[in-house]
Structure 1
Amino acid sequence: MIVVTGAAGQLGRLVIAALLKTVSAGQIVAAVRSPEKAGDVAALGVQVRRADYTDAASLDAAFQGATKVLLISSNEIGARLAQHRAVIDAAKRAKVQLLAYTSVLRADTSSLGLAAEHWETEQAIKDSGVPAAILRNGWYTENYTVGVPGAVAQGAIYGSAGEGRISSAARNDYAEAAAVVLAGEGHAGKIYELAGDSAYTLAELAAEVSRQSGKSVEYRNIPEADYKAALVGFGLPEVVAALLSNSDTAASKGALFDEGRQLSALIGRPTTAWTASVTAALK
């Protein structure tokens, strides 16, 4: 039995879909905080169970019979470590054979502000003694392409990444990697540094958006504080704006660049081209 936590989220839904290519629906459990909001997941034939990272009893019930669990990191920045520890403890009580965790690229050395909670979670997993595979996901291309329509309208992409190169991949690429690990064998004890096959600067991203849209879009590099303020002005919560602006600054120093190609090796195909993600965003 494979349990996917956070299965109603964007990544979780994609992991379920990827698993269904090789694993029968009866062997998959979608663990979600609000089962009533996961009707589309249930329609795939998988079992939906309630699992709240802050409710140990719900985690025990969700993990009943589990042999493998995917811990998709919480999006509650600042509260994640405690939530992740609750899942780790539940996985230990369930005596799972593998706990896979979605961490961040080079969590042990990264200058990304969000890396600390991931690294602490990795240490908690190690200390628990639960057999584990660490999926250190790089940046999702969608983190940038979601803003492409607005960039075309404004004629600019804003950021603080300077000339930093970004080795992003599509969210679905990372989902497939998680499915490969969950459905396969021999992954316990492994740490995978996952990133896209090719890299780009935000100036190159802007140029590609211009090329594909037929409209002039430039990249405007601004200080981190100004970028954060702009994101808040666009309606993002302050904590999310702080995360994105900090990540851009870290990207300017190489935090989102990687050329190891472990992701494409794991999924057995090239990662989704970032130019293709631009095309999708413009549709």
Structure 2
Amino acid sequence: MTVYGITGASGQLGRLTTEALEQRVSPEQLVLITRSPDNLAEYAARGIEVRAGDFNDADSLRAAFAGIDRLLIISTDRVGDRLEGHRRAIAAAKVAGVSHLLYTSVPEPTPENPAGVVPDHAATEQAIRDSGLGWTFLRNALYADGQLGSIEQAAASGQLVTNAGDGRNAYVTRADCARAAAAALVQGPGNATYDITGPAALSTADLAALAAGLRGSAVEVIDVSDEAYVQGLVEHGLPEPIAELLASFGTATRLGFMSTVSTAVADLTGTPPAPLSSLLAETQPR
């Protein structure tokens, strides 16, 4: 019997992936790893094993990974301060006898890509390759879910302020990332990289059109420099490091690093990814 593990299982992506995986395998084949096992009591009640594991505690990880064959490492959210934790998890997985690691990464994790999350992801991918374990990299595009607030704000104000220029972004729903991860988990061994994207690469004009549909009138796209974008976010109350991180995604989009559209979601799951427009429609009052 193959045993599948998921780290960060109490997070949004972890929960969605667990639910997708439940449609494919039996509960006794699943192990959920989290720093707070009590948060997953509902899954334990369904017969799924929940274990404590902390990326800052190598001993806890080795115990948590024991008996797992294929392990999904969901990247932690501490941008710039997560690589050592990821390396700890990789080393613990090898000691525990895990045969195959899956990792949630980012599109085009190359030195040229200015997105602020790239260094962590690129180094983690390399550490997994160096481990000698089997690997699958799930390079998730930006979440479509994360664009809903911006679209609604643009609808309210009549303006969409951006530093993405004419770039395009293949936004993908978190649910589709989860479905793809669950499908990749149950596939046979063999190293692979998947670009997990939505069905189309959208421009800021496309986002403004979606906002205009909510507003009932046109929404203007306001193009600004990276520096002005950061300044605007800081003036609206965001800490400067977070503002710079968000701006870096606009820069990466403008330079073409986020525009790849792939068929990976459909290839893995048999069902095409949902467009951002349908996700937006689901969130609006009827």
| TM-score in terms of structure 1 length | 0.93
Aligned AA (2:123)? E
- When residues 231 and 34 of structure 1 are mapped into structure 2, their CA distance, relative to the original with a 3 A threshold, is farther
Aligned to 1:227: 229
CA contact (8 A) 1:209 1:278 kept: no
Aligned to 2:18: 16
Q: Secondary structure at the match of 2:231?
A: helix
1:235 Cα deviation from its structure 2 partner: 4.0
Aligned AA (1:37)? N
1:43 Cα deviation from its structure 2 partner: 4.4
Q: Secondary structure at the match of 1:174?
A: helix
Aligned AA (1:180)? A
1:215 Cα deviation from its structure 2 partner: 4.6
1:272 Cα deviation from its structure 2 partner: 0.6
Aligned AA (1:228)? V
Supply the distance in 2 between the matched residues of 1:235 and 1:55 (Cα, whole angstroms).
34
Supply the distance in 2 between the matched residues of 1:78 and 1:15 (Cα, whole angstroms).
25
Supply the distance in 2 between the matched residues of 1:228 and 1:118 (Cα, whole angstroms).
23
Aligned to 2:183: 180
Q: Structure 1 residue 99 and structure 2 residue 101: aligned?
A: yes
CA contact (8 A) 1:168 1:199 kept: yes
Quick check: 208-217 or 20-29, which moved more?
Answer: 208-217
Q: Structure 1 residue 155 and structure 2 residue 158: aligned?
A: yes
Quick check: 137-146 or 86-95, which moved more?
Answer: 137-146
Q: Secondary structure at the match of 1:243?
A: helix
- When residues 242 and 45 of structure 1 are mapped into structure 2, their CA distance, relative to the original with a 3 A threshold, is farther
1:261 Cα deviation from its structure 2 partner: 2.2
Coordinate RMSD, CA, aligned: 1.8
1:84 Cα deviation from its structure 2 partner: 0.5
Aligned to 1:210: 212
Identity, in percent, stands at 37
Aligned AA (2:146)? N
CA contact (8 A) 1:195 1:258 kept: yes
Aligned to 1:114: 117
Out of 131, 139, 158, the position equivalent to 1:128 is: 131
Aligned to 2:248: 246
* Residue correspondence of structure 1 range 11-50 to structure 2 within 5 A: 11-50=13-52
Aligned to 2:168: 165
1:44 Cα deviation from its structure 2 partner: 4.4
Report how many residues are paired. 282
CA contact (8 A) 1:32 1:50 kept: yes
Aligned to 1:271: 273
Supply the distance in 2 between the matched residues of 1:28 and 1:146 (Cα, whole angstroms).
34
Deviations 1:27-74 (A, max 9, x none): 111111122333344344422211111111111121121111100111
Supply the distance in 2 between the matched residues of 1:132 and 1:198 (Cα, whole angstroms).
27
Q: Secondary structure at the match of 1:38?
A: helix
CA contact (8 A) 1:162 1:221 kept: yes
1:207 Cα deviation from its structure 2 partner: 1.0
Supply the distance in 2 between the matched residues of 1:6 and 1:136 (Cα, whole angstroms).
17
Supply the distance in 2 between the matched residues of 1:56 and 1:192 (Cα, whole angstroms).
29
Supply the distance in 2 between the matched residues of 1:132 and 1:204 (Cα, whole angstroms).
36
Supply the distance in 2 between the matched residues of 1:31 and 1:146 (Cα, whole angstroms).
30
Supply the distance in 2 between the matched residues of 1:217 and 1:45 (Cα, whole angstroms).
50
Supply the distance in 1 between the matched residues of 2:106 and 2:214 (Cα, whole angstroms).
30
CA contact (8 A) 1:138 1:167 kept: yes
